Amino acid sequence: QKEVEQDPGPLSVPEGAIVSLNCTYSNSAFQYFMWYRQYSRKGPELLMYTYSSGNKEDGRFTAQVDKSSKYISLFIRDSQPSDSATYLCAMSAKEVRTSYGKLTFGQGTILTVHP
Amino acid sequence: NAGVTQTPKFQVLKTGQSMTLQCAQDMNHEYMSWYRQDPGMGLRLIHYSVGAGITDQGEVPNGYNVSRSTTEDFPLRLLSAAPSQTSVYFCASTRNYEQYFGPGTRLTVT
């Protein structure tokens, strides 16, 4: 069993829809949770960063962490065609700079937002 | 400020050949990493470095070597390429909680 599981999709939604992306994990030591966005043929870029449990909002994006269920989510409101990308969750047991950039990634979910 | 650069962008190798994937960053970050990305597997850590002269293995290190002689450069060497090493390779450097990824090298081993 992988430490981090992510539904690879693909997920296709109409413009304006609310998108929900999810990851589950098995390692209870994970405390730092990230979402990366990766456009086709590009490197991933950090979208959201959350420490421990709770919610974090940034514009149209909301990240949620439920450590009791070992479950994290990313919500995208009012989705746009420019949101079409692969979304990867990533986790670390230590702060990234002390874990030396060692992250455990999910498989990635391919999202398409059509006009 | 170029961020993280990788060369080449594409490469085709024959089984048994060796090559070096180049990675450089101009952000003066101490921590650098190499990942490979395969369909359905996400990103998997190959090797990482916490500073010049210090490297360590990640999740999938077999068949790869690294060295870190300067803060800026972190090359990845394939000693004897195998078809299982066909993948997209990403180099990343880390500051605080954020990893900055390069554009990737697409490698095909025939």
Coil vs helix vs strand at B65? strand
Say what the pLDDT of residue B24 is: 97
Sign of CA dihedral A79, A83, A86, A92: negative
By Cβ distance, the residue of B41, B97, B104 closest to A32 is: B97
Q: Is A103 on the interface with B (CB under 8 A)?
A: yes
DSSP letter assigned to residue B73: B
Residue B50: list chain A partners with CB under 8 A: 100
DSSP letter assigned to residue A78: S
Residue type, A84: S
Largest alpha-carbon pair distance within chain A? 42
3-state helix, strand, coil in chain A (%, to 5): 5, 55, 45
CA–CA distance, A109 with B83 (Å, rounded to integer): 26
Say what the pLDDT of residue B76 is: 98
Q: Is A39 on the interface with B (CB under 8 A)?
A: no
Residue found under tokens 């002390």: A98
User: How does pLDDT run across A44-102, given as a tens digit for each residue?
Assistant: 999 998 888 889 999 999 999 999 999 999 999 999 999 999 999 999 887 555 555 57
Q: What's the distance, CA B38 to chain centroid?
A: 14
Confidence of residue B8 (pLDDT cuts 50, 70, 90): very high
Pairing mode of beta strands A61-66, A71-76:
antiparallel
∠ CA A98-A51-A48 to the nearest 5 degrees? 100
pLDDT at B40 over 90: no
Say what the pLDDT of residue B95 is: 80
Question: Across residues A21-43, what is the average pLDDT?
Answer: 93
What is the length of chain A? 115
**Shortest alpha-carbon distance between residue B79 and chain A (Å):** 23
Scanning every residue of chain A, which has its alpha carbon at the shortest distance from the alpha carbon of B94? A101
Residue pairs between chains A and B whose CB atoms are closer than 8 Å: 69
Q: How many other C-beta atoms lie within 10 A of the C-beta of residue A20?
A: 13
- Which residues are registered as beta bridge partners of B4? B25
User: How does pLDDT run across B65-103, given as a tens digit for each residue?
Assistant: 999 999 999 999 999 999 999 999 999 998 877 789 999
Q: Which residues of B touch A (CB under 8 A)?
A: 4, 31-33, 35, 40-45, 48-50, 56, 58, 90, 92-99, 101-104
CA–CA distance, B89 with B87 (Å, rounded to integer): 6
Say what the pLDDT of residue A2 is: 80
Say what the pLDDT of residue A69 is: 94
Would the CB atoms of A96 and B4 count as touching at under 8 Å?
no
